[in-house]
Amino acid sequence: MAFTGLSGQVTQLPWEQAVGAVRFEELAPVSAFPVLPGRRWGPGWWWSATTGRHVVHGSATMRTQLMALDRDPEVTGLSARPVRLIWRDPADGRVRGWVPQLFARYADGSGLLADCPSSPAAGGDRAQRARVVLEAVCARVGWSYRCLEPPPAVVAANLRWLAGYRHPRYAGPPGVRAAISAAFAVARQLADGAASAGEPLQVLPAVYHALWAGQLVARLDEPLGEHTMVSAHQSNSGQTGTVMADARRRDEE
């Protein structure tokens, strides 16, 4: 595998050695995302609430996946295009390579290499061959490789809205946070709970931040609005803000 080290030089290491020695979540992209003339979407930056740093993305689809991983409480680190996997194809002896779009570090120390195709057929045969290789090499070290499926449109829209309040500045002062926790100690509609916690213009951003951070829970597979049922209890999390985490578990089964 090849990666760009802290000195800016491209370094190559055997896969198993690199997994134990390299902090993939701290690496700069090993190659840049292309800028395609006439394309409506170009590369951009996502500010990660998980790491407090920016992560580059190359498409709207990839940004949505970054957003979902950034909200996953099991994720502790994120990076884009951190490594190029290189191997010799046993079928024809040719050297091949692949640069996964995303890396996520989980709290248990394991890693995820992922691509964010806009459709199952994106990338053609080359992507399918690379997927087989990457799944195998990741499994050898207890990691995983996945082609992340776009979330349902309603979930994506809700995540985008909550992501606008992901920065800690929206958490509110301690008194507001305490009032919000008390207001939603029992499940109630979002607007009613926010109104009971204080001035809505001050409270609502803190409510949305708490929903992003998982301190409050609500169904994200239904449109988020004033009548959404919100609770501070985690016992209902299987039905609420864990859509993407549940998807991860299903993929790994």
Question: What is the SS3 assignment for 181?
Answer: helix
Query: What pLDDT, in 10s, does the model give residues 99-115?
Result: 999 999 999 999 999 99
Beta bridge partners of 147: 115
| Confidence label for 47 from pLDDT (cuts 50, 70 and 90) | very high
Q: Which two structure tokens, joined as six digits, stand for 12? A: 């190559």
Tell me how far apart the alpha carbons of residues 113 and 140 are, in angstroms, rounded to a whole number: 13
Contacts of 78 (CB under 8 A, 6+ apart): 25, 48, 50, 51, 55, 66, 69, 70, 102, 103, 104, 105
SS3 158: helix
Please say if the pLDDT value at position 120 is more than 80: no
**What is residue 100's predicted lDDT score, i.e. its pLDDT?**
95
Percent of the chain scoring above 70 in pLDDT: 88
Beta bridge partners of 112: 104, 144
Distance CA 217, CA 184 (A): 10
10 Å CB burial of residue 53 (0-12, 13-18, 19+) is middle
Question: Model confidence at 92, in pLDDT bands (50, 70, 90)?
Answer: confident
Q: CATH 3.40.1350.10 occupies which residues in the chain? A: 2-147
What architecture does CATH give domain 2-147?
3-Layer(aba) Sandwich (3.40)
Question: DSSP 3-state assignment of 249?
Answer: helix
Average confidence (pLDDT) over 33-44: 75
Strand partners, 137: none
The residue that leads in pLDDT, 119 or 130, is 130
pTM: 0.86
Interval 149-193: pLDDT, tens? 999 999 999 999 999 999 999 999 999 999 999 999 999 999 999
